[in-house]
Structure 1
Amino acid sequence: MRKTILLLIFSISLTCFAQDINYTRKTLNTLTSKEFWGRGYTKNGMSKAADFIESQFKTFGLQPMNGKDFKQPFSFSVNTFPGGIELKINGKKLIPGKEFIVGQASAGVKAKADLIEKDSLNFIDDGDRIVVSLKDKLTWSVSQKVNDYTEISVIKSAINEKPKNIETTIENVFVPEFRASNICAVVKGTLKPDSVILITGHYDHLGGMGKDTYFPGANDNASGVSFLLSLAKYYAANPQKYSIAFICFAGEEAGILGSKYFTENPLIDLQKIRFLINVDMVGTGETGATVVNATQYPKEFALLNQVNDASKLLVKINPRGKAANSDHYFFTEKGVPAFFLYTQGGISAYHDVFDKPETLPFTIYENLFKLFLGFNKGLMN
């Protein structure tokens, strides 16, 4: 009976609340703008995004997690491409990002050479310094090392015949100590401030490849950060009996490095975290959402579904087991109960230049917001 009454309260209260979707859209557009250059490793993109997130926490009235500074600095190595990126295949100039990408671990090169066919999809120059691969989709990432050769992926539709010769200029700069920061904030609880619900998401993305091409990263993960900031705005205005804390991580795309650093250098006692919810790629949702670690924490997953069913928010929440695929992972390894939630359906853009804000449908964004409010309230009760 008590559970039924609580769920009825959740259902009524959640239908009365409307998320500030205009703020969310504005935030998404800011995070994916050219000024932030893919929130990565060139043109100061990641640093600008960090400053923006910090400014939002300050504006809302949140407190630094350690009581002093919103930023938790750390460093790691990364291979970057700040300079020229040019490619001609069979004399045809190709468009970076749309028709070709440079492998993230590639060495810089300036070359004009004939290509030798290794197989129907892969071609090399006679010095074995360059590998050209034909792809159906271009997918970029981040590397902490540099190979002694250069990889170039070319979309199949960009050329009409097999690659026979290449002319290319690629400039890379390896940065052994790239400086980044996690952004950490908290809304103190009114009754049990030492009990913490932690909401996390990574704000970094892939950055830029060359002087003219950047990866906006709208779904991955400007959507998650926009969602997190919307929650921060709400909880700052509506403090709960537990503390509600927020972390925007750097270095996720380079290997979930920011969250690993935080768990090794925590700014709060990890044992006081009642539950962690990590959001990454939450801008779609036509077919529902998936929760990693659902099978690890069946009681909390049941609560999530009870809240969802009571207000009919998402069409389905799919359970998934343990996986080291986002920033929840190292917390789980330290004994912190955690979910990683991502939505499904909608756009297929991923780690490419087409992950843009104008293509992101935000299908269930407001309902997802209500789901989080109800779930968090359930945890505190």
Structure 2
Amino acid sequence: MRQRLAELRGPAVPAKALDARALAALAANPGCRRRALLDGAGVDKSALAQALGSPSGFGQSQFALVRGNAFEAKVKADGGAELLRLVHARLGGGPAPASPGPEGGADTAEVHTPDLTAAGPEGRSARTALALRDAAATRAWTLLDHPMLALDVAGSPAFLEPDAVVVHPDGRWTVVEIKSFPMIDGSADEGKVGSAARQAAVYALALQQVAGRLDPAPPVGHEVVLVCPKDFSNQPTAAVVDVRKQLSVTRRQLGRLTRIEDIAAALPEGTTFDVERSPDELGRAVESVPAAYAPECLAACELAFHCRDRSRTEGEVTSLGRSVRGELGALTTVEDVLAAARGEAGDPDDPVVAALRRAAALRAQALEGAACR
């Protein structure tokens, strides 16, 4: 299967790793086989969109990345002392973690920061699993800085790298998300917090898989710690976010994804998404995999502009939004909807068709009244 996926992205093209942001978007649209296959095969969708002539501006700006990296470095300075202080203040879990150096008092607990260095994502994920097992046995404060977690997605492993995972002396494992958007008067932008919660839920799901392989399985907290700048300063503050809902949704949606090998098996022989191929050949390859475009894709997928253009060209009602598509039942194109509204097609006993014809009649009456005035 790995050889087949390598052929799909091109023999000389390295696989683009899945991250939690991509998995959260994938889970939000499980019906899109195109995204499932491209992400599972490690295809660089930004490069593919550029080659198709539909480049997307999706992604973080360079300024945001630099600012985020600088803030994360500040939070994790001195062996993660401030990060652990914030986690202990919000969630407890044992005696206060000791500060680095001689200032740690007798009433504080030792902190472990294991080395997670290894070759490749498989090696790093194995090293992370070993460090978590050791931490579960020692029951001490343990800070895992950028651990590597493996999560099975539609039959293919995705390697994920959370900002940090903290093991408490009471045995709990907690995901920590560090973001550079501000938390003003104790609250942050609702949309950004929601996005961070969905990403953290993916990490927590992967962490649960690691915990499930231990006996007894350590509890993975459904409360994650979100660390952000306080007000308009660069000082870190933290809030606890309950991700039980996001965990449930992510688990259910990822479980609904069609297995990648099943999608790949249905492709025409010789299909490839190698960006060195001609735009026409790439276009045929992309269109050979069914998509499920919706306007929400514009904020989550690099191929959204391409899929939107095709959706509009084919008159698909999904281009109007998932809620509209759900209301229209078996009518999948705009032309079908208009024909049903005009009485040229459709079963008059169908409630959707009857509602469309009623709406068309009311519109005609309104326009006639306006013309008479």
Q: Same fold (TM over 0.5)?
A: no
TM-score by length of 2: 0.26
Q: Which has the higher helix share?
A: 2
Higher Cα Rg: structure 1 or 2?
A: 2
Q: So what's the TM-score if we normalise by structure 1? A: 0.26
